[in-house]
Structure 1
């Protein structure tokens, strides 16, 4: 039994563009003896965006309604956590009366189920909603996984759940990179850590040592073998994550050269080139794309950014009507026995 005095239990959020390797990183951190990251949940952002419907959480009935919304609906993916819904609902009802405190309960319960003291969550969508996460969990630490945008686009196009097309995939990576760059500057090295997917594959120990140091944790060698947990920590329905069940494979880096067409490469490098170079990726030197293709992309990109601006405006309006605070009460331990 080891005693750790004044150990941080700040929540850890893994984010990035879809298909950037966030599930692999989730498994790596979940392998740490003190950290638990569950399968991708669907209750944090939806609850925040729809928070007015739950009313004043200082009222017991409202907390009970929120607890049922989290634990009793298939859409929240709560059932994939392997927790007792009734027990968690009771804990939510007894938690401090803020939305952040309530949402932290099932994640903390998941950590306890695995004998861990520190909880976190992984979802690529958090990359565009860092403000919401910080309002709910002001002491959060973020790990942003960056992958070559061309590889992300190629991978997205092969996913059974991606129905938005090539131009939308390109615009998604561009938007994630732009938004997260602003948060990296704002939050600084105490709350934001950026890691390249390619570096994590090529030298997992060095990168994971850096991540653990950032989180204030000792390095754990088992984090370099995420495949050992894939069978229990990745839902079987997610067949697109089958590679997480095998050893780390650095050959996946740069596969865009075989998976994208010459026309697709031309567009990617024309609109993503500066961002790619800034993050250490070399360009192939492809010629300019067809002007009609470029115009199509600009329209898709503009619509995405307009939708994001609208969400931010609606969030500001909702803040005026909030009946009470949303932030979770920070949790620290003066003494923890592991």
Structure 2
């Protein structure tokens, strides 16, 4: 039996460790009534790191989504006592995981639902052109070496469920699906290091390190040293891909899901240039589902290739979705139909078995029941990051859940009307089946 008092002390210890270097002064220190946002200044990323640390301390998944979300929206704040009571209840079995509340088809029940926006905030062709102009251009070149073996690329903009799909695919014995690799946009490993070494992008370098740890059974220090040598030698990223594929010996297919690839059609063209008969999964999500997820995450993390632009968060999310889909569709026109699969995120969360069977058939691999249980065998699925799970290269909100939730497919309807979308966005969405 875990008492609330004992859990409280452990939670306080975790919070103290997380905020050790913060400039936080609380009279009497952290206590049961201390609030995460009001008193300590937590942001979304801090809540996720706290969740991961608590689950790591107790070595069990707790499903924090039930605590952090009420009536379809994230709570405004939480106290230490509230967190401790939730954790104790989960650990003791007195607080079972709640069944997802269905979202009503008639979304007018939500008074704050956004049904119209000023014309100045609507996405237009002019804004799309400005956004595309803000994307840093890349001079990608062929190093002249033979093509790498086949690989599977998941193409989608951020906040579209690609982390969930990646973890599902990692449950297959025939696929090797590491965290985001961030290799294609760069000619060499040295160029990649220079581009991603900033404060807000440094964690994106860790996907390759975690992949090597899994492939070779290396400790973080050994994997990092290997990557550092590749960077120092300015090895081509094409050659680095080959280093990841060699240990697979053709028995497993490498999966690369990195959302930033779709922001530039030239990056997508490089896949055909560098790989022999690559496979593609075009993962789509309703634009407002992606936009809602982007806004509620409050992370405001721009892709590395997007330079600073004067757009609001909702505009930026819609422009990212629209650009990504236009680029992906354009790239797909040059790929044979038997190597291209379009699948909707909504189908994955609402009918995971059928969706994954479809993907397995496409990839020519057997369907395995373990694949649709993404919160099991976490080490094999590489959700723990290099040093800890809160540094995973991918959507950290994955850690808030403990099961695939079909409510995620339609929850945006509580908050938005399709009328707020720009004409181009609606047209592209319709062509994708929305």
Q: Give the 5 Å matches for 1:275-314.
A: 275-281=428-434
> Are the equivalent residues in 2 in contact too, given 1:27–1:229 (CA < 8 A)?
no
CA–CA separation in structure 2 for the residues paired with 1:144 and 1:85: 31
Q: Is the partner of 1:194 in helix, strand or coil?
A: strand
CA–CA separation in structure 2 for the residues paired with 1:16 and 1:222: 24
CA–CA separation in structure 1 for the residues paired with 2:224 and 2:325: 40
Greater helix proportion: 1
CA distance 1:12–1:259, shift in 2 (3 Å):
same
Corresponding residue of 2:163: 23
Q: Is the partner of 1:144 in helix, strand or coil?
A: strand
CA–CA separation in structure 1 for the residues paired with 2:180 and 2:405: 22
Corresponding residue of 1:147: 285
Corresponding residue of 1:241: 398
How many aligned positions are there? 248
Gaps of 5+ in 2: 1-148, 302-311
Which residue, out of 402, 407, 425, partners 1:251? 407
Corresponding residue of 1:38: 178
Q: CA deviation at 1:190?
A: 2.5
> Are the equivalent residues in 2 in contact too, given 1:91–1:105 (CA < 8 A)?
no
TM-score (norm 1): 0.63
Corresponding residue of 1:47: 186
Which residue, out of 164, 176, 195, partners 2:324? 176
RMSD (CA atoms) = 3.5
> Are the equivalent residues in 2 in contact too, given 1:29–1:35 (CA < 8 A)?
yes
Corresponding residue of 1:291: none
Corresponding residue of 2:252: 117
Larger CA Rg, structure 1 vs 2: 2
CA distance 1:254–1:132, shift in 2 (3 Å):
same
> Are the equivalent residues in 2 in contact too, given 1:35–1:118 (CA < 8 A)?
yes
> Are the equivalent residues in 2 in contact too, given 1:88–1:106 (CA < 8 A)?
no
Gaps of 5+ in 1: 1-8, 55-64, 282-338
> Are the equivalent residues in 2 in contact too, given 1:14–1:123 (CA < 8 A)?
yes
Q: CA deviation at 1:259?
A: 3.3
Q: CA deviation at 1:80?
A: 3.1
CA–CA separation in structure 2 for the residues paired with 1:186 and 1:53: 28
CA–CA separation in structure 2 for the residues paired with 1:183 and 1:75: 24
Could you report, residue by residue, the CA deviation over 1:70-122 in whole angstroms, capped at 9, with x for unpaired residues?
xxx866213333243388569979xxx8641333313655x58xx96322211
CA–CA separation in structure 2 for the residues paired with 1:256 and 1:167: 16
> Are the equivalent residues in 2 in contact too, given 1:33–1:116 (CA < 8 A)?
no
CA–CA separation in structure 2 for the residues paired with 1:240 and 1:87: 29
> Are the equivalent residues in 2 in contact too, given 1:144–1:192 (CA < 8 A)?
yes
Corresponding residue of 1:268: 421
**Does residue 1:85 correspond to 2:220, yes or no?**
no
CA–CA separation in structure 2 for the residues paired with 1:200 and 1:187: 24
Q: CA deviation at 1:218?
A: 1.8
Q: Give the 5 Å matches for 1:46-65.
A: 46-48=185-187
Q: CA deviation at 1:230?
A: 4.3
CA distance 1:157–1:89, shift in 2 (3 Å):
closer
Q: CA deviation at 1:269?
A: 5.6
TM-score (norm 2): 0.50
> Are the equivalent residues in 2 in contact too, given 1:107–1:121 (CA < 8 A)?
no
Q: Which has the higher contact order (CA 8 A, sep 6+)?
A: 1
